[in-house]
């Protein structure tokens, strides 16, 4: 058990809340940032859903990635920072800069505040999108030596994660003044939702349960959010993690139709609307002409996105749940929380 104080940025986020749960379970005191403290009650409700009653072991500070206000207060007396706050696909972004500037500037703002406050180490929640996008097809799995090729076909969100992580490593090298950094690069994060504001990754499962007409030929690794949180804590304290990137992936990648079949096998009536029909690529490309939400998956059609989580297992002793358990846990939580459309 540790009484040290850890800052978790973006406390309304899916991964952030599971990191808070893991930190509280490990005995840490936690401070978290919110853009607006009006979401404090929602965060507490989600943490209770995850089994925690933090009491005075959790505090909140108002801070936004786009402004300096609040970050000195947020980082004061913290031994570590888990920095997960970043723009995610919400539909509010209009220009590419709407993604990139908050991500890059936000990372640098947090790192400067961490350095000035004497924080020991920052663990940055990056993404597989900073590793495995824009490349030509390959036979080997992606690993931590890879960086997304920004000369390829890279969506704004993935571009922002790549540039933000690179800027963070550059900061540490040039002006970190001894501040330590590690990054966690999750693949598709599943596992249990805590409330109605869940990650965009879990929408993949929700769409299947709600009865989308079929499965595009897209491929992804998956990981349980509880294991992502565990990896953050390991990267936070293990000496071997300093200066390292860690891919979070539970086994080999799956095609969407394989995920659909697993839901049918494991959920019974809960998966009554799940289709295992494979949608042809030409159909997705036509739909994408009229549906912006589909446009982003076109570059990934038929592409094997396999990635290896072996480094975290080898260096940090990380032992994630199976892919299957992560998928089923996400689906069961959506059903339990009443977030699935059960109408015919």
- Between CA 32 and CA 12 the distance in angstroms is 9
Predicted confidence (pLDDT) per residue in 115-159, tens digit? 999 999 999 999 999 999 988 888 899 999 999 999 888 888 888
How do strand 80-83 and strand 188-190 relate by DSSP bridges? Answer: unpaired
What average pLDDT does the chain have?
92
CA distances (Å), origin 200, targets 88, 279, 280: 8, 21, 24
| Topology of the domain comprising 5-190+224-249+307-315 | Rossmann fold (3.40.50)
Tell me the sheet residues that pair with 71: none
Domain spans in the chain, listed from the N-terminal domain onward: 5-190+224-249+307-315
- What span, in angstroms and rounded, lies between the C-alpha atoms of 264 and 191? 17
| pTM of the model as a whole | 0.94
d(CA 146, CA 308): 11
What is the tens place of the pLDDT at every residue in 203-250?
A: 999 999 999 999 999 999 999 999 999 999 999 999 999 999 999 999
For 55-85, what is each residue's pLDDT tens digit?
999 999 999 988 999 999 999 999 999 999 8
Average pLDDT of span 286-304: 85
Residues 6+ apart with CB under 8 A from 84: 8, 9, 10, 13, 15, 16, 19, 125
> What single string gives the DSSP state of each residue in 196-228?
SS--TTHHHHHHHHTT-S-B-S-EE-EEEHHHH
């Amino acid at each position: 058990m540790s009484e040290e104080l850890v800052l978790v940025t973006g406390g309304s986020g899916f991964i952030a809340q599971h990191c808070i749960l893991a930190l509280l379970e490990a005995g840490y005191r936690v401070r978290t940032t919110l853009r607006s403290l009006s979401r404090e009650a929602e965060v507490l409700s989600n943490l209770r859903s995850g089994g925690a009653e933090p009491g005075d072991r959790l505090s909140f500070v108002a801070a936004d990635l786009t402004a300096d206000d609040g970050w000195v207060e947020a980082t004061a007396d913290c031994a570590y920072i888990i920095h997960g706050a970043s723009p995610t696909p919400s539909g509010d972004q209009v220009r590419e800069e709407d993604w990139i500037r908050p991500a890059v500037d936000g990372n640098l703002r947090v790192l400067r505040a961490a350095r000035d406050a004497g924080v020991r180490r920052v663990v940055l929640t990056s993404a597989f999108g900073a590793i495995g996008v824009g490349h030509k097809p390959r036979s080997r799995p992606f690993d931590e030596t890879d960086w997304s090729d920004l000369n390829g076909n890279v969506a704004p969100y993935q571009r922002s994660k790549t540039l933000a992580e690179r800027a963070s490593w550059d900061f540490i090298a040039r002006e970190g003044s001894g501040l330590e950094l590690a990054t966690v690069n999750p693949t598709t994060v599943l596992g249990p939702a805590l409330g109605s504001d869940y990650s965009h990754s879990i929408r993949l499962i929700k769409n299947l349960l709600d009865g989308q007409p079929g499965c595009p030929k897209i491929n992804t690794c998956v990981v349980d959010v509880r294991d992502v949180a565990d990896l953050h804590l390991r990267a936070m304290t293990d000496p071997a993690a300093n200066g390292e990137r860690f891919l979070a992936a539970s086994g080999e990648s799956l095609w969407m139709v394989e995920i659909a079949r697993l839901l049918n096998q494991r959920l019974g009536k809960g998966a009554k609307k799940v289709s295992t029909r494979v949608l042809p690529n030409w159909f997705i490309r036509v739909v994408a002409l009229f549906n912006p939400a589909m446009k982003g998956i076109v570059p990934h059609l038929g592409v094997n996105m396999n990635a290896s989580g072996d480094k975290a297992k080898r260096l940090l002793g990380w032992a994630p749940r199976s892919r299957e358990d992560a998928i089923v846990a996400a689906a069961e939580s959506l059903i339990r929380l009443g977030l699935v459309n059960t109408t015919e």
